[in-house]
Amino acid sequence: MRAAPTILHLDMDAFFAAAEQASKPSLRGKPVVVGGLGPRGVVATASYEARRFGVHSAMPMAQARRLAPNAAYLVPRFAFYRAISGQVMELLGRLSPLVEPLSLDEAFVDLEAGGVADDSESARAAGERLRRDILTTTGLTGSVGLAGSKMLAKIASEEAKPDGLVLIEPGTERELLGPRSVRIIPGIGPATGEHLRRAGITTVAEVVEAGEDELVRLLGRAHGGSLYRMALGHDDRPVVAERDAKSVSVEDTFDVDLHDRLRIRLEVERLAERCVARLRGSGHSGRTIVLKVRRYDFSTLTRSETLRGPTDDPVVVKEAAARLLDLVDTTGGVRLLGVGVSGLADYTQEDLFAQAEAEQARTEAERTEAERVAREPGETAVPEAAAATVPAAPATATETAERRWAAGHDVRHAVYGPGWVQGSGVGRVTVRFEEPGSAPGRVRTFPVDDPDLEPSDPLPLVPGGATGAVA
């Protein structure tokens, strides 16, 4: 616990939704919900306008649509969000060499290590300067918490939302925390909170009153002791600059449970290819292949296989995932599949014989796929889309084309220029033509196979554009 509030916690405000509003003038000031749009999709982020209707993150998308039927519902654009996050993290890096990213929109910063703050006044000045720089650079807002510990800095940023700054003076922790729910303490989830409630402990002050011995009796030595120290405001966790990835994984939830074993295997192979693409993109290889299967009854099984050396070969990963699938009973149906690689390294260690066998297997797989496509000329590959789900029934060419146009994603028309997809169905796609710095644009509808319409990369944000209003 520090004597000065030199640990900063930044949390961008409704980040995904705010980024969408900033890039789409017609959505500014209106309810926006970002997440998976399939029947089993969940909300990733809701704008503050949508939250007024009761929509919040992790809510089933179907429930969100009932609460806010007139909101804009968009599929995430993670490459776009990562680009903005990179700008924000660069600004944090100017404050200190000790920046601990927690996600795309959240991070801790050790201001003392950066030499920019050693007391409350200088810490507040650094926090306000950061908020101004973020707005100037990205047009988005973030909330800042400042305190003498990571736990309290995060609590302060929650208090600051939206678009504010809260500083907790060291020495005021007990007074601040006392009346709060025990759930405000890191590590206290619903189950532990309910266990404490049954023991008559609902506030942080009651945690302190119960004493460490009682908490150890209720929760065990490690958890009970940690809870007691946190309740006193004691948190000595340092800001860690490097948070090395321990694994890389991808997964898909399906609109309809998969029953066909061949279809399940094909999905596993597709996920393995995506996983390897992400693995290579991070500059890693890995030794342990992990398969995750969630069955029709919500039971989740994981199986893993450790290779002789690290790999980033898609054939090797696909074959290992297929072997793991053979160990899983999928009778009754599968609702989610995932493939991951752990035991990461920054090199590969394949032997020449394994590489030769992999190349042969790859050639055979390509030949088999070519033969399949020749037999089924009407079917095309389903493109990868973040948070999208894949229907169980074989898709028609029109349905596949429609899935190319994910709601919210960027497009460009040969005549009308840049725009974004408002929706698609029954062979048509509706596009609103506007860009970050423009006025709200016109809406037009095209056939899904219109040769003048094509997917596009996101346009950069115009700083300050998110604050505009829509008449």
Indicate if the pLDDT at residue 380 is higher than 90.
no
For 410-425, what is each residue's pLDDT tens digit? 999 999 999 999 999 8
Rounded Cα distance between 40 and 49, Å, is 23
247-375 is a CATH 1.20.120.850 domain: no
**Mean predicted confidence (pLDDT) in 231-253:** 83
**Mean predicted confidence (pLDDT) in 293-308:** 89
Q: What six digits make up the tokens of 208?
A: 């302190």
Indicate if the pLDDT at residue 400 is higher than 70.
no
Rounded Cα distance between 162 and 31, Å, is 16
Q: What pLDDT is recorded for position 471?
A: 30
Indicate if the pLDDT at residue 282 is higher than 80.
no
Bridge partner list, 306: 288
Point out the least confidently predicted range of 158-172, 262-276, 308-322, 344-358. Answer: 344-358
Report domain extents, the chain: 175-231, 247-375
**Mean predicted confidence (pLDDT) in 209-223:** 90
Q: What is the largest CA-CA distance in the chain?
A: 73
For 302-318, what is each residue's pLDDT tens digit? 999 998 888 888 899 99
Indicate if the pLDDT at residue 356 is higher than 70.
no
3-state secondary structure 119-179: CHHHHHHHHHHHHHHHHHHHCCCEEEEEECCHHHHHHHHHHHCCCCEEECCCCCHHHHHCC
Q: What is the DSSP string of 204-246?
A: HHHHHHH-HHHHHHHH-HHHHHHHHHHHTT---PPP-S-----
Q: What pLDDT is recorded for position 223?
A: 81
- Percentage of the chain with pLDDT > 70? 85
Under the banding of pLDDT at 50, 70 and 90, the label for residue 104 is confident
Strands 285-295 and 334-345: antiparallel
Strands 7-12 and 142-147: antiparallel
Do 306 and 287 touch, CB atoms closer than 8 A? yes
Active-site hit among 100, 106, 112, 350: 106
Q: What pLDDT is recorded for position 198?
A: 93
Indicate if the pLDDT at residue 117 is higher than 80.
yes
Indicate if the pLDDT at residue 371 is higher than 90.
no
Rounded Cα distance between 462 and 84, Å, is 12
Q: What pLDDT is recorded for position 39?
A: 76
Q: What six digits make up the tokens of 225?
A: 């002791």
User: Shortest CA distance to 283 belongs to which of 370, 345, 192?
Assistant: 345
**Mean predicted confidence (pLDDT) in 405-409:** 93
Q: What pLDDT is recorded for position 464?
A: 57
Record: fold of 175-231: DNA polymerase; domain 1 (1.10.150)
Under the banding of pLDDT at 50, 70 and 90, the label for residue 320 is very high
What is the residue whose two structure tokens read 């505009």?
468
Q: Is 106 a catalytic residue?
A: yes
- pTM value is 0.70
Let me know how long the chain is. 471
3-state secondary structure 153-164: HHHHHHHHCCCC
**Mean predicted confidence (pLDDT) in 16-43:** 92
Q: What pLDDT is recorded for position 174?
A: 86
Rounded Cα distance between 103 and 166, Å, is 21
Do 417 and 402 touch, CB atoms closer than 8 A? no
Whole-angstrom CA distances from 104 to 20, 175, 408, 432 are 15, 32, 19, 27
What is the residue whose two structure tokens read 């061949």?
262
Indicate if the pLDDT at residue 41 is higher than 90.
no
Q: What pLDDT is recorded for position 233?
A: 86
For 428-459, what is each residue's pLDDT tens digit? 999 999 999 999 999 999 999 999 999 999 99
The DSSP code for 356 is H
